[in-house]
Structure 1
Amino acid sequence: MEKVAVIGAGSWGTALSIVLADNDHEVRLWTHRIEQAEEINNVHRNEKYLKNVEIPKQIRAYHDLSEAVDGVSAVIVVVPTKAIRDVSKQLQAVLKQKVTIIHATKGIEPLTLKRVSQLIAEEMEQYTEEEIVVLSGPSHAEEVALRQPTTVTVSSKDAKNASYAQDLFINDAFRVYTSPDILGIELGGALKNIIALGAGISDGLGYGDNAKAALITRGLAEIARLGTSLGANPLSFLGLPGVGDLIVTCTSVHSRNWRAGNLLGKGYKLDDVLEQMGMAVEGVRTVKAAYQFAEEQDVEMPITKGIYQILFEEENPKKVVEQLMSRTKREEMDDLAALLNERYTQ
């Protein structure tokens, strides 16, 4: 049995806490809202984020971060990307011992274009990027909390840390693989949110399965194109944190990014959508980062560009679809051939 702190009591943090509790670990779930901690401890519920889910009694919620991490062997960071730096600084100040840091946040910081593992390493002086573990894959919190079969990947440049994280989480309902390609795993988990926004927009416009299938497939090509230009293994995008996460996020009403896109497709403005969602929509920030990445890397990402125009330039979604459909003719296999040639001719 391990003593573990989960930092962030949203839907995903709470669901991962349930997995850890099912594995007989002592789980400390930290939230910055004292009333949320009281709800979890007193009635064993977290109704805002996971309705009608009973939280195991061995999960103890904390409002004081120093108490939450005291004596733990691992810290699981599950907060929105925009909060990563601040939370990491707080952890730097209160952690008295070296622990394994695992994050389960899917995003990229705009402007700096840094991945979450890089942000944590920058703010926590005693850790290097190579030591940090990422957990990613097709995993709706609502289903994980109900112990429905789920499979994810953990990745770190430190194989020992990745193996430790695998052992920490794996059970009969939550299968965990390992991968050494942390770059590809983080990028796949972040960039798929862009395509999920697009899938929601497509559904909001009333388009059918043909349009969404095309969007997912060509979206995967964009993700792999950008990821490999940055040094990721292209095969990572064909795995769980790539195509697996892309499928589940683009096709389910559980997906915040799909729901946000759906509202945009129905004509709502971005500010109204974000207010109505009431929770972080990581894809919105990631669109900014990916658009900037594509410009700097000179990588063609027409879907990402179109979604950027809808979000931040108030372009009409139907007009963007028309532009995508009228692009210059090309050979579909060019993208895959280029990616594989780059990988296997080096």
Structure 2
Amino acid sequence: MARIVILGAGVMGSAMALPAAHGGNAVALVGTHLDEDIVRSVAGNGLHPRLGVTLPAAVEARPWTGFGAAMAEGADLLVLGVSSAGIAWAIDRIVESVRTPVPVLMITKGLAPRDGSIEVLPHLVAREVERRTGMALPVMAVGGPCIAGELAALRDTSVVVTGGDEALVAGTLGLLEAPFYHARPSTDVIGVEICAAFKNFYTLAVGAAAGLLERSGKGSNGALMHNLAASLFTQALEEMTVLVEALGGRAETVRGLPGAGDLYVTCQAGRNGRMGRLLGLGLPYARAKAEHMASDTVEGAQLALDLGPTLEAMMARGALPGERMPLAAGIVAAVCRDEPLALAFDRFHR
């Protein structure tokens, strides 16, 4: 039996407790300071109020103040399930509490600008922990189409686990082995993480098709705009391939579960698609956010705000081929400068 500690009791972190506990492992689900109601509910009767399921008895819920004790009891795997905004907080907790190297699996998604380029979060976490403690932590990540509610309901879910140490990745797959959780190994950390973040970004454009349809109405024969949405989806994959390869990842990752698979799932529903619809309706981003989604975190739009200047600077100096990324340029202009979302079809699919 292994011991697995999950930091972050939101929907995705908690859903990961299902495959983690399936093989008889002991799981400590440690909430952040934002998860206190969830922790109380799970500790009381096992029910996760946001997922609507009762977690296995092997899952012990603890408040964030119990993270140090959970790690001191020994952990074979630490799963980071905090939001991207909480990654600095999570690094602080690791620095405070982790005394010996333990494998880390990140389900947190996001990217950060660094030295005029883009850094993936597993590299950032490993770098920061080593800088502050001198301890080298092996940091892996999971990517692919995984809706937390479906995983919690034990629906078949296929993902990849990526890391630089193939033996460690294989061991992690063994810890998470479950008949409903189909995890495959990958060594393309950069490709998986770029896809995981940019699928939200590009869903803004695919979602715009719904808003454009509302603006123009159905055709006289009832025709919709699936052709348009498919065209935008295809362009998104092409541009994600350009970006992944430019940053050192592999094109096949974009064609697989982390790219095409995760983009497909993200386009089905959610906050990024809703914001895309508003942009397609012709609303400036700032107005759409303030009037319709003020309390929502729109990951794709936040990525544009965080990395838009970096993307534009990389294109300007030739580090990214801007002529091959017209949709990205249009999304950045729409989100960062409130310009209408430009769909440059004459530059797509080249």
State the TM-score bracket (shorter-chain normalisation).
0.7 to 0.9
Amino acid at match of 1:247: Y
Compute the displacement of 1:54 (Å): 2.2
Which residue of structure 2 lines up, in the alignment, with residue 141 of structure 1? 148
Where does 1:1-346 land on structure 2 (aligned, <5 Å)? 1-31=1-31, 32=33, 33-47=35-49, 49-50=50-51, 52-63=52-63, 64=65, 65-70=67-72, 71-110=74-113, 113-125=118-130, 126-128=134-136, 131-206=138-213, 208-250=225-267, 252-253=268-269, 255-266=270-281, 267=283, 269-277=288-296, 280-291=297-308, 292-293=310-311, 295-296=313-314, 297-300=319-322, 301-317=325-341, 320-321=342-343, 324-325=344-345, 327-328=346-347, 332=349, 334=350
d(CA) in 2 for partners of 1:265 and 1:5? 42
CA contact (8 A) 1:77 1:102 kept: yes
Map Cα deviations across residues 113-158 of structure 1 (whole Å, 9 max, x no partner).
32111221122125547x2111111111111111111100011111
Moved more, 60-69 or 289-298: 289-298
Secondary structure of 2:53 counterpart: coil
Compute the displacement of 1:163 (Å): 0.9
Moved more, 181-190 or 263-272: 263-272
Structure 1 pair 128/236, CA: closer, same or farther in 2 (3 Å)?
A: farther
Aligned residues: 319
Unpaired segments ≥5 residues, structure 2: 215-224
d(CA) in 1 for partners of 2:232 and 2:135? 39
Secondary structure of 1:124 counterpart: helix
Which residue of structure 1 lines up, in the alignment, with residue 218 of structure 2? none
Compute the displacement of 1:100 (Å): 0.8
CA RMSD across the alignment: 2.2
Secondary structure of 2:60 counterpart: strand
Secondary structure of 2:48 counterpart: coil
Secondary structure of 1:9 counterpart: coil
d(CA) in 1 for partners of 2:45 and 2:228? 45
Map Cα deviations across residues 51-98 of structure 1 (whole Å, 9 max, x no partner).
x22222321111122123231111001112222122112111111332
Moved more, 237-246 or 106-115: 106-115
d(CA) in 1 for partners of 2:142 and 2:213? 34
d(CA) in 2 for partners of 1:185 and 1:128? 22
Structure 1 pair 233/197, CA: closer, same or farther in 2 (3 Å)?
A: same
Amino acid at match of 1:303: L
d(CA) in 2 for partners of 1:210 and 1:68? 51
Secondary structure of 1:183 counterpart: helix
Compute the TM-score of the two structures, normalised by the length of structure 2: 0.84
Moved more, 25-34 or 153-162: 25-34
Compute the TM-score of the two structures, normalised by the length of structure 1: 0.85
Structure 1 pair 220/72, CA: closer, same or farther in 2 (3 Å)?
A: same
CA contact (8 A) 1:310 1:316 kept: yes
d(CA) in 1 for partners of 2:58 and 2:202? 38
Secondary structure of 1:105 counterpart: coil
